[in-house]
Homo-oligomer: A and B are copies of this chain.
Amino acid sequence: MLSIVIVGTGNVANHLFNAFTKSREVKVAQVVGRNQDALKSFGSTSAISSDFTQIADADIYLVAVSDSAIAPVSKLLAKKSGIVAHTSGTVEMDVIGLENCGVFYPLQTFTKGKMLDFTAIPICIEAKHESALSVLRRLGNLISDNIHEIDSNKRKRLHLAAVFANNFTNHLYSISEKICEQEDLPFELLQPLILETAEKVQSISPRDAQTGPARRNNKKTLERHLNLLKDEKQTELYALFSEAIKKMYEEEL
């Protein structure tokens, strides 16, 4: 049995809380956060506190707060003997500033109210000491089959890759939604395409899955599309993507 304290009340804290309360091998000793309203949603099954001087003892403190709050929050845990691990993709482990430190970064996009199956979610762990690493691995294994040891330097770059695969992808969905709206077309028309595009790269490398006018260097369609676009940013993105795709495949054309 491992005991944990979750510090933070945002999306990551929420989803980790839901995953861990399902495991009989973990006791969520406490959830700590400043936001009293957000804290209430944890209250029914666990102890909650907004007093950072009254943090319970536990084997692991999961610091699921905003990047800039990791250092100051960690300081408040300086006298604890348990492992202090943050959950951020970008922040280096050393920012915690304590000897018994680590990282427990679940690589997924978390939405309020949308349940997730944690089993397949990659959890990237890191720790200063081997003993802490094995405890974090044990903790991860209780909720996921996908635990990876990844250091701060690699994790930073993995997070950058995730920004392309998630944040920027979502913005492309937004643009496509906008174009539909301008034509009074329902965005639902694109939903099966969006899903299949993502499903395809679960088994095929995206390099091999690329299709479309830029991939075939179909100049006529590229030109027509550019003429249809009115928004400046959309036009710039269209041109830049088309160039980048052409460049990636030019040796094959």
Contact residues of A with B, CB < 8 Å?
67-68, 90, 107-109, 111, 114, 116, 120-122, 124, 146, 148, 150, 154, 156-158, 160-177, 179-180, 182-183, 185, 187-207, 209-215, 218, 220-221, 224-225, 228-229, 233-234, 236-238, 240-241, 243-245, 247-248
Contacts and interface: CB of A to CB of B under 8 A. Distances in A.
22 contacts: A108-B192, A109-B200, A111-B204, A121-B192, A124-B189, A157-B185, A158-B183, A158-B189, A160-B228, A160-B229, A161-B177, A163-B225, A164-B234, A165-B197, A167-B210, A167-B241, A169-B172, A169-B197, A171-B241, A194-B202, A236-B240, A240-B240
Majority SS of interface residues in chain A? helix
A173 B109 contact: no
Contacts of A213: 163, 167
Given A190-B107, A190-B162, A195-B199, A237 B241 contact: yes
B172 A172 contact: yes
Contact of A177 (B179, B189, B206): B206
Contact of A174 (B194, B220, B248): B248
A152 to B, nearest CB: 12
B244 A233 contact: yes
A169 B167 contact: no
A210 B170 contact: yes
A158 B174 contact: no
Given A173-B201, A212-B163, A237-B168, A157 B194 contact: no
Given A169-B197, A240-B240, A161 B190 contact: yes
A134 to B, nearest CB: 21
A215 B236 CA distance: 19
Contacts of A156: 224, 228
